[in-house]
Structure 1
Amino acid sequence: MSALTSKQAAGLALSAFMTLDAALGMIASDGRILMTNPAFDRLFGKNSSEDLLGRLQLSSWNEALDTSPLLSINDHTFRVKVTAQPQGYFINAEDITDQFDRTAREARRARTDRLTELGNRRLLREGLQALLDEPGVPQDRHALLTIDLDRFKAINDTLGRKIGDALLCLVARRIRSTVSDHDVVARLYGDQFGILQSEQAQPASAIALAKRLRDLLSRPYMLEGQLIEVTARVGIAPLTPDTTDVDQVINNADLALNRAKQDRAADYCIFESGMDQTMRARRALETDLRRALALREFALVYQPQFDLQSGRVTGLEALLRWNSPTRGPVSPMEFIPLAEETGIISPIGEWVLRTACRDAAGWPDDITVAVNVSAVQFANRALSTTVLSALADSGLDPRRLELEITESVMLDARGTALGVLQRLRATGVRVSLDDFGTGYSSLGYLRSFPFDKIKIDQSFVRGASEDRGNRAIVRAIASLGQNLGMATVAEGVETTEHMERVSTAGCTHVQGYLISRPLPPEQVRAFLARGTVALPPSSSDCSKVA
């Protein structure tokens, strides 16, 4: 095929120039139109040289070659490529409206929570980063709020995910109604939401918003005939002039939210520097707690329970102790709540159960062992299997094992805890209700489950000498236990006065330092072998029991 002549090549190039869909034009440096194609004329109009330089802002690109800014004309978006030539500029304007819109839609989707149609965590982080990066922005006029719903997990588990998702959508709608157009609202994950409040005096504006959220979100919701109530907790992290890190702000808001959730009377909490230190200490304790289980730093001690009628010890309660090589003895009041909150209580509780059954198997056949079981352990459907396995491995008679539970175990909308208790009790395992009278619905639980024993909280026992109301409570519980055929154990009996009072009130058993301090396993057999408990002298008959 022969080569094109110069004239033919020029004609072909001109033909292509005139027929391309891209808007092409040659513009002189003074703005005169030297040459255009029909697409260029349709876009910018013919004979529009007088304002073309201004519309294209060519003067600002004089020093740049091959730049590609975006230009919006008649709801269309064009990518304009400008190339400097000796005669002026060569303009190539390509319509990218569809591509641009598609990219914008994808960007919106990437920053939108699909369930609630609020922003997501990415959008919130980007908005926060933009505030921190923008020079001259007064940081003390912005705050991050995080919001969490109490009881949402229980609602989701009990009524189903469909109801849970619908509830989140209603919550999102209410949150959106409380904020201004300047604020960024996002669903962070699960039932946690975030608000980046801007251009408001802080922390006063964040506090006012937190109060509105608490009031609005706590109002009842009606979903598929179900009246649902939740409570909102809010953590507030105001930005400060020295704030530079997005993660720091989010972490501060989360710390404040956790404090608000711990303080049940608080609607909201504002971040304080000491919270970070507290959280670091908590994480360190959690790490040590996990290590303690792996390294077997836990031990059990046993506190005797004394039968006032027979005058002898009939059982012992297993109590968990932790002697850390770095912390020393750690109070159960410090580590047990953390173990329950983090879920570590489940493996710890299984260790306690197996160890207590193994120890009790070496005691006389008429002595029982009581083991505390938390509500977290009951959340595991395999609990009954674990209990039966511990009994089988140790050879302990099920009738010698007593599980102590608090009413928090019975706060189970699905009734699984009650079913586990019934299955275990059918095997002979005994069940007692601990800390009776300190909750809200204990009488109802006594009707729903035939407990073997009721344990009266030590606060009523020790406070009875100064408070007639406490004495009346002890008498009422003892009478209730007698009428229901349940034993009643008075905890915290430390003096002969305590012993006389609970005995007179009708309690059947006592437990406390007056009988014995908690004993290490190696001392239990010798203690039981003595057969008697030495009590201080008193005029009361109950102090003379052997």
Structure 2
Amino acid sequence: MLFLDLDNFKTINDALGHLIGDRIIQLAGQRVCGCVRGQDTVAHLSGDEFMVILEGMDDEARAAKIARDVLKSLSQPFKVDGREVFTSCSIGVVMYPKNAGSLVELMRNVDTAAHFAKKQGRANFQFYTEQLSEDARRRIEVESGLRRALENDEFELVFQPKVDLETRCIIGAEALLRWDNANLGKVSPVEFIPVAEETGLIVSIGSWVLRQACETAARWIKEGLPDCHIAVNLSAMQFLHGDLAGEIKEVLETCEVPPHLLDVELTESMLVSNAEETIRILKVIKDMGVNVSMDDFGTGYSSLSYLTRFPLDNLKVDRSFVTGLPDDRDASAVARAIISMAQNLNLHIIAEGIETENQVGFLHALGCQVGQGYLFSPPVSNEKFMELVRAGASAFAKTPPAAGE
């Protein structure tokens, strides 16, 4: 059994209207029928969903070929009313009776497989496995825990120092979220952040992070630490819900933190999603004196036009381009290009994932001013961070490169 879910069909329906949407459903059904055998059954379930029953097929390789044929067919443009419309689909595949003993189990498992295919980036197919059900159960547990994490005081912030590559002094830190749940234990951000974003919980969690970070910065000021910037990561959903700029202004005033000590970090994909509204909000934030950084640069759209449109102060070079420095020729070329581009746009450059002195020397020679990474420090508690700041440049005195570096 194959379960097909057209990707982004709601967007097409909303943008072009239901008549065109209905016509695309009809054409999609015809294309699916053209990919299967005469004895197979194709059914339109509802909305953007189709079901295909491959009668008497117990060969996974043949089922996979049909799934690939469907993907290829649906990837071609649909010509409707003189225009071309593009879509794709995500497919879940279940073998009966191998993967299910009842109709209810069959439907549940094929839906699980299709959901996983969509999570993998859409336009692909996924066979059901027991691991997928375990992953689904784990996700439910994570979501359930997240919904009570704030009220149970289960979150904490840790701080990874940002270091001036010239003086070796700390100039700030990136605030990173950690979650320790009574039942699940320590849950990686890689696991819980996507769930928070899918469920919308990231908005309230993001507000908590912002306030906690600013309260921490206020403590640094009271402790007499040198001016230390604090950076927080924003989610795309925070731009879509509520008054983000107003919230930042209120938190800064309440905590009595100068706006220039706050950095907000956004990814490339966030900047190009709903671009005009994002630009408007960022301009308001920047006009307050808050710094705006593009995080993970080079991993998404990487277009100069995007850099020139957005009110940015800092550009963060993604760790994937730092890891191979200075020996990897391709990584070196990309790093040079990114840093040169940033300099031409008068942006400050921050390198992530620095692990060796050779990387520091290479990046600093190119004009990169600030770095963070395990060479200097992993993310640490606030108490440890303040110790490092007070230690000054001696905390990160240059060490000789290890043999082979």
TM-score bracket for the superposition, by shorter chain length: 0.7 to 0.9
Matching residue of 2:350:
489
SS at match of 2:380: coil
Matching residue of 1:429:
290
Give 1:446 shift: 0.7
Q: Does 1:281 align with 2:141?
A: no
The residue identity in structure 2 corresponding to 1:328 is: G
Matching residue of 2:41:
183
Alignment of 1:319-338 (within 5 A): 319-338=176-195
Task: Work out which of the residue numbers 47, 66, 75 in structure 2 matches 1:218.
Answer: 75
- What CA distance in whole angstroms lies between the structure 1 residues aligned with 2:232 and 2:337? 26
Give 1:526 shift: 4.2
Q: Does 1:305 align with 2:162?
A: yes
SS at match of 2:307: helix
- What CA distance in whole angstroms lies between the structure 1 residues aligned with 2:264 and 2:308? 18
Decide whether aligned partners of structure 1 residues 329 and 413 sit closer, same or farther in structure 2, where only a CA change above 3 A counts. closer
The residue identity in structure 2 corresponding to 1:219 is: Q
Decide whether aligned partners of structure 1 residues 532 and 202 sit closer, same or farther in structure 2, where only a CA change above 3 A counts. closer
- What CA distance in whole angstroms lies between the structure 1 residues aligned with 2:280 and 2:83? 25
**What 5-or-longer segments of structure 2 have no aligned partner?**
none
Give 1:162 shift: 6.1
**What 5-or-longer segments of structure 1 have no aligned partner?**
1-143, 541-546
- Using the TM superposition, name which of 436-445 and 481-490 deviates more: 436-445
The residue identity in structure 1 corresponding to 2:149 is: A
- What CA distance in whole angstroms lies between the structure 2 residues aligned with 1:166 and 1:245? 34
Q: Does 1:350 align with 2:211?
A: no
Work out whether residues 148 and 232 of structure 1, in 8 Å CA contact, stay in contact via their aligned partners in 2.
Answer: yes
Work out whether residues 89 and 122 of structure 2, in 8 Å CA contact, stay in contact via their aligned partners in 1.
Answer: no
Query: How far does the alpha carbon of each residue in 1:52-110 deviate from its partner, in whole angstroms, 9 at most, with x for none?
Result: xxxxxxxxxxxxxxxxxxxxxxxxxxxxxxxxxxxxxxxxxxxxxxxxxxxxxxxxxxx
Give 1:504 shift: 1.3
SS at match of 1:316: strand
The residue identity in structure 2 corresponding to 1:302 is: F
Decide whether aligned partners of structure 1 residues 198 and 449 sit closer, same or farther in structure 2, where only a CA change above 3 A counts. same
Query: How far does the alpha carbon of each residue in 1:92-137 deviate from its partner, in whole angstroms, 9 at most, with x for none?
Result: xxxxxxxxxxxxxxxxxxxxxxxxxxxxxxxxxxxxxxxxxxxxxx
Matching residue of 1:47:
none
Work out whether residues 300 and 352 of structure 1, in 8 Å CA contact, stay in contact via their aligned partners in 2.
Answer: yes
Task: Work out which of the residue numbers 247, 264, 279 in structure 2 matches 1:403.
Answer: 264
Matching residue of 2:149:
292
Work out whether residues 92 and 128 of structure 2, in 8 Å CA contact, stay in contact via their aligned partners in 1.
Answer: yes
SS at match of 1:512: coil
Query: How far does the alpha carbon of each residue in 1:30-66 deviate from its partner, in whole angstroms, 9 at most, with x for none?
Result: xxxxxxxxxxxxxxxxxxxxxxxxxxxxxxxxxxxxx
The residue identity in structure 2 corresponding to 1:506 is: G
TM-score norm. by structure 1 comes to 0.65
- What CA distance in whole angstroms lies between the structure 1 residues aligned with 2:359 and 2:99? 58
SS at match of 1:371: strand
Give 1:205 shift: 5.7
- What CA distance in whole angstroms lies between the structure 1 residues aligned with 2:103 and 2:238? 37
Work out whether residues 99 and 106 of structure 2, in 8 Å CA contact, stay in contact via their aligned partners in 1.
Answer: no
Give 1:265 shift: 8.4
- What CA distance in whole angstroms lies between the structure 1 residues aligned with 2:215 and 2:186? 24
The residue identity in structure 1 corresponding to 2:151 is: A
Work out whether residues 32 and 42 of structure 2, in 8 Å CA contact, stay in contact via their aligned partners in 1.
Answer: no
Work out whether residues 176 and 185 of structure 1, in 8 Å CA contact, stay in contact via their aligned partners in 2.
Answer: no
Alignment of 1:144-183 (within 5 A): 144-156=1-13, 164-175=21-32, 178=35, 180=38, 183=41
Q: Count residues in correspondence.
A: 396
Alignment of 1:5-24 (within 5 A): none
Between the two structures, name the one with larger relative contact order (CA 8 Å, sep ≥ 6).
2
- What CA distance in whole angstroms lies between the structure 2 residues aligned with 1:527 and 1:297? 26
Alignment of 1:199-218 (within 5 A): 203=60, 206-218=63-75
SS at match of 1:294: coil
The residue identity in structure 2 corresponding to 1:402 is: D
SS at match of 1:441: coil
SS at match of 1:356: helix
Q: Does 1:457 align with 2:315?
A: no
Alignment of 1:4-153 (within 5 A): 144-153=1-10
Identity %: 38
Matching residue of 1:502:
363
